[in-house]
Structure 1
């Protein structure tokens, strides 16, 4: 089954060119199936890139998904065309009286700031509090995961001595978890961040489970025992060239930036990166949608 998105969303053409089954609003209206309602709070400045990456992962499942894109109203992106935001994004005031099967909160390039220094922090806190009663299962990504762990569970983010930047090996700590059903014992995921959360803080927090980590990158996947909240520290949705673009952007700015670890062949940024995380990233999103949203959400969202 396909993902259902607005007919004119730019991601549609990209996904269809990759032979991904995308259903337009018109066609979906003629199917007697209740789609999963998934809300994506996109905090990234490059919104079109991020929405396309996530929609790509959500689309490769046997489920029909109704996606809505959410932006903050307290901070408006300066890197995305205003017409695009007006056409495809909604605000919290427009959805706060509704309920959703699933929600994704993306990362944001603000990890070096204290949470309360972020312009939209009060609004994000309001949205995260709302998600506990209006969303069946919420998936937090990278900085969004750190923000969620702090807001919901009081876990502090910690500064790293240098940027964690590259593709790292991870291990599944709980093979019985449906989130990692079909995963190899060892899998790879991209990271690009200056902060982390400590494993001992996660393990000391009631109702949280650490389900995957990395000897180099640290904590990777955390969930609540009731599976209503997931926190993923990396970027399983990244494109093959995302880290390369970030590297060359910083080089062009004259910034001190290391070559992404375990990414370019022979550690040579002039070569084409090797993709080792695509299948694991796809499976993570698919498993979350299937086992923690579709299989357990009520048919009537009024019963959430």
Structure 2
């Protein structure tokens, strides 16, 4: 079954051009089925790109997925047309009385700020607290993972000496865990961040499980023991061009960002990017939807 999204959302036509199976809401309402209701809090500046990335990886499942988009009310996005936000996004006050099967909190380019100095931090804390009683499973991405680990468990983030940027090899500690079912012993995933969480801090928290790790990139997948919270420190949803576009933006800004590691063929930016992470990204999201959302959520939330 496809992901169910608004008919006019730009991601719909972009994904259809890739032959990704999506369904407009006008067709979806004709099907007598209980879709999974997934809420996405989009904190990324290029919101249309992020929508497309996430909807692509949510679409590869036999389950029908109904998506709602959320923004914070305490921060005004500058890189997305206001009409797009008005047409497709809701604020927390509009949805706080609802329940959702799954919830995704994206990353945000605010890593070098203390959490308490982020303009929407108080609002995000309220949303994360709300998710514990109104959502079956919440998946946190990159800075969203660091924010969730800090808010729920007091785990700090640490600034890195240089930007961790590229595609890195990871390994799984427990291959029997449903979230990584079908994963290879070693797999690749993209990262782009200036800060990290540390293994020793995670291991101090009895309620957390470190599921996947990397010699270079550090902890990658962390779970709460009841599987209601999943923390992903990288960006498995990224498409082929994302790291390259970010590298070019950093170059134009005069930043000293190194070439994204293991991304271009032979690490040569004049050559084509090589996608090493797509299959595991699809597995990660499909497994999350199936085992942590669909198999766990009540049919009738009331």
Aligned partner of 2:263 in structure 1 is 263
Aligned partner of 2:301 in structure 1 is 301
Q: How does 1:267-286 map to 2 (within 5 A)?
A: 267-286=267-286
RMSD: 0.6
Aligned partner of 1:155 in structure 2 is 155
Aligned partner of 1:104 in structure 2 is 104
SS at match of 1:285: helix
Aligned partner of 2:164 in structure 1 is 164
Aligned partner of 1:53 in structure 2 is 53
Shift of 1:257: 1.1
Aligned partner of 2:89 in structure 1 is 89
Matched, 1:116 2:116: yes
Aligned partner of 2:246 in structure 1 is 246
Partners of 1:5 and 1:36 lie apart in 2 by 12
Aligned partner of 1:69 in structure 2 is 69
TM-score, normalised with respect to structure 2: 0.99
Partners of 1:6 and 1:283 lie apart in 2 by 25
Shift of 1:171: 0.2
Shift of 1:206: 1.5
Aligned partner of 1:130 in structure 2 is 130
Aligned partner of 1:146 in structure 2 is 146
- Where in structure 2 are there 5+ consecutive unaligned residues? none
Partners of 1:116 and 1:220 lie apart in 2 by 24
Shift of 1:253: 1.8
Partners of 2:159 and 2:128 lie apart in 1 by 23
Partners of 1:34 and 1:24 lie apart in 2 by 16
Structure 1 residues 252-293: Cα deviation after superposition (integer angstroms, max 9, x where no partner): 122111001111112111111110000001110000000000
Aligned residues: 302
Aligned partner of 2:38 in structure 1 is 38
SS at match of 1:301: coil
Partners of 2:295 and 2:189 lie apart in 1 by 26
Aligned partner of 2:236 in structure 1 is 236
Partners of 1:294 and 1:39 lie apart in 2 by 14
Matched, 1:218 2:218: yes
Partners of 1:28 and 1:241 lie apart in 2 by 31
Partners of 1:168 and 1:95 lie apart in 2 by 37
- Where in structure 1 are there 5+ consecutive unaligned residues? none
Shift of 1:76: 1.3
TM-score, normalised with respect to structure 1: 0.99
Shift of 1:69: 0.2
Partners of 1:254 and 1:96 lie apart in 2 by 42
Partners of 1:122 and 1:49 lie apart in 2 by 26
SS at match of 1:219: coil
Aligned partner of 1:7 in structure 2 is 7
Shift of 1:43: 0.2
Partners of 2:273 and 2:28 lie apart in 1 by 37
**Greater shift in the superposed pair: 212-221 or 24-33:** 24-33
Partners of 1:296 and 1:262 lie apart in 2 by 37
